[in-house]
Amino acid sequence: MNAKEITAQLTLEEKASLCSGKDFWTLKGIERLGLRPIMVTDGPHGLRKQAGSADHLGINESVAAACFPAACASSCSFDRDLLREIGEAMGEECLQEQVAVILGPGANIKRSPLCGRNFEYISEDPFLTGELAAALINGVQSRGVGTSLKHFAANNQETRRMTVNSVVDERALREIYLAGFERTVKKSQPWTLMCSYNRLNGIYASDNTRLLTEIPRDEWGFQGLVVTDWGAADDRVQGVRAGLDLEMPGSGGINDAKIVEAVRSGALDEAALDRAVGRVVELILKSQAHARSGYTYDAEAHHNLARRAAAESAVLLKNEGAILPLSGAKGKTVALIGAFAEKPRYQGAGSSKINPFKLENPLEELKKAGFALEYAPGYTLGSEGGRPDETLIRQAAELAAKKDLAVVFAGLPDEYESEGFDRSSMDLPESHTRLIEAVAGANANTVVVLLLGAPVALPWASKVKGILLLYLGGQAVGGAAADLLAGKRDPGGRLAETWPLALEDNPSFLYFPGGSKSVEYRESIFVGYRYYNTVDKPVAYPFGYGLSYTAFEYGNLKLSAGEFKAGGELTVSFTVKNTGTRPGSETAQLYVAPESSKIFRPKMELKGFEKIRLEPGETKTACITLDTRSFAYYNAPDAVWALEGGSYGILIGASSRDIRLRQRITVAGDGREAKLAALREGAPEYFKPGPKLSVSDSSFEALYGRPLPPSERVPGEPFSINSTLDDIKDTPEGQALIQQIIAGIEESFGKGNTDLRQMVDRMLMDMPLRAVGMMSGGKMPPQMIAGIVEALNGRGA
């Protein structure tokens, strides 16, 4: 039987039951109709399947699996084929572990470098995001395992992520925050799409018909199932109407009963429920058809892939005097410094944390590579690791002074960036910064290797000769570091995000993370390099940047036509030659740049790229095809993608600020610019953004097209199940509840300062009351939460 036939045989209660999980990780089945429960698990850069029975928080130990480079790293590869390979490997591990769907990839845009979950996300650019997310998904799903594209949508911060209202103008929403999802859906058809916790322009994602049905299904052709992020369901009945098919985890039958009651009372059309159930049944059938009992994957092959991927994703930021690779320093002595060299940070903290079946560290791998080195930790790890240890710093500097070269491993420990909270600054721990400065002062030939998930300030950059960025390179990051430092591999990565000189340079600086109720995206489309390049803002390292151990020369740019019209295609070709003495790879990037505009637009936008591997002296031709969307902007007043006529530059570069070739093309427009051009009077800041972006209330309101919602909770405002613990902390009821929750956390985690305990502690006060019930494991059912809300409001809140 197919999904439609099975759905027709279900009772109303069975239909409702299929729309929520059986437990934290498992969907329900209907035994009499041959539907078996299926399992979904966390990703997105490897498999995190809980070993044994699932607990109500999803935090039990997970089975051993390959930990591939996190998205912050793998995105820098700009390599679709590599991402597909990683996806294939992840799919194979899911088959062995009988997992039907792996939750990932994350396609949220890196709006601010402070977002605590940026290590899980791909880029500040939606085109790159869509290309690489689609490649990973196609790899996973080629093995008969589903994916869950997340977190949909405008979930660009961890602060108050469960309740915050993301206030985004329609053009920015379409061009920046939805475009990566759109491209991914159209190129890969993920089996599931995960809705986010937050509200978008006033409506929770889980209740949002436009977000869950009209845009992905009606406009993009999405065919899969929509699932909540864990605990993200707001109004379950409205969710069914809106197109939310599956609630995870289950509510112990409470929301199932609400669905049944709504159908029986006529408040919910059973046809809407049938659509949701049909998609759940279809997912179960698809998963059952691809399940492979007894399948085993090649663990060593996956480890080798992780090692190669880490090297292909590494970004060489500085290489003064060609100090790298260290193969040119054979016979010289090396001081290896930094606790990360012995215990590397290789993945992010939170729900994506994988239990690797193998873990390499740089210290041992560099010894295997034959380096004559001595090691000094320089700093401690753990809760006190950020505080400088003067003895360790002095010992490290003394060691560095005795050696020909010094290599310092530094970065951000788990307690500095994680799911559940945002960073408060771009600074490295003081212990790491002080160490680097001391070592560089003692040895002029100092190289720094960075292990972290997001950009940091580098006040010491001018004092060292080399900087190698590994981001969070997965379980084989130690081997990859040795391969790169020894010159066995060329650093193949290019930055998928801009590294600003200072936090206040970021266009979202004045508006991130917003107020207690809402966050305003006042920078609109000026995100990342779209802002920095438009205003010619100096940056530490631009989008697309990365050095190589060899050199490349570009030439022979050709366009297939001198004019472009809607519906057409333009083929752009050019050559790249390796002019150095080593094999290497170059990421050639194509940007489209309108030369003049009546509306506000970024100076340039990435619309194509190719990863090209070349032997010394070898030349290859790259071809990139552009279509209508390559030149289009979103016309919000008319709700269409539109073409502005005029001259456009076709720019080919090694980064967004290293343009090697350019030609001009004329685009025939559709003349729709007038309504947007009229904003020049009401929102002038967008037409000439300044070096420090500041947008007035009236300008943002003019762009947003409606009154701005309050950013803070109004005193006396009634409490609800969506009120956070921070909202109620000053009430007697709130204080008692918070103490009860803390006691429960200590019971679950103990009093140790594990990274998971820290994540829960940091996000605790942002948690809404409805989520408290979900996380309680049944100890605080909805009736109890409703009673707490009544008591809070009875006090005249």
Which residues are annotated as catalytic?
229
Beta-ladder partners of 156: none
Distances (CA, A) of 96 to 93, 296, 309: 5, 5, 22
Q: At what angle do helices 126-141 and 179-188 cross, to 10 degrees?
A: 30
Q: Please report the beta strands in 544-699, taking only residues with DSSP state E, as ranges in sequence order.
A: 552-559, 563-564, 570-578, 584-594, 605-614, 619-626, 633-635, 640-642, 646-655, 658-667
Distance CA 447, CA 382 (A): 24
Beta-ladder partners of 449: 409, 468
Q: Where are the alpha helices (DSSP H) in 349-462?
A: 362-368, 390-402, 430-442
Q: Where are the alpha helices (DSSP H) in 379-513?
A: 390-402, 430-442, 477-486
DSSP annotation of 553: E
Rg (Cα) of the chain, in Å, rounded?
A: 26
Distance CA 213, CA 205 (A): 11
Q: At what angle do helices 299-313 and 477-486 cross, to 10 degrees?
A: 50
Contact call for residues 649 and 664 (beta carbons, < 8 A): yes
Distance of CA 130 to the CA centre of its chain: 12
Q: How many CA atoms lie within 13 A of 622 on its CB side?
A: 24
Distance CA 143, CA 160 (A): 37
List the one residue out of 183, 195, 99, 97 whose CA is nearest residue 133: 183
Q: Where are the alpha helices (DSSP H) in 627-731?
A: 674-677, 679-682, 697-704, 725-728
List the one residue out of 3, 760, 405, 471 whose CA is nearest residue 481: 471
CA quadruple 227, 228, 231, 236: dihedral positive or negative? Answer: negative
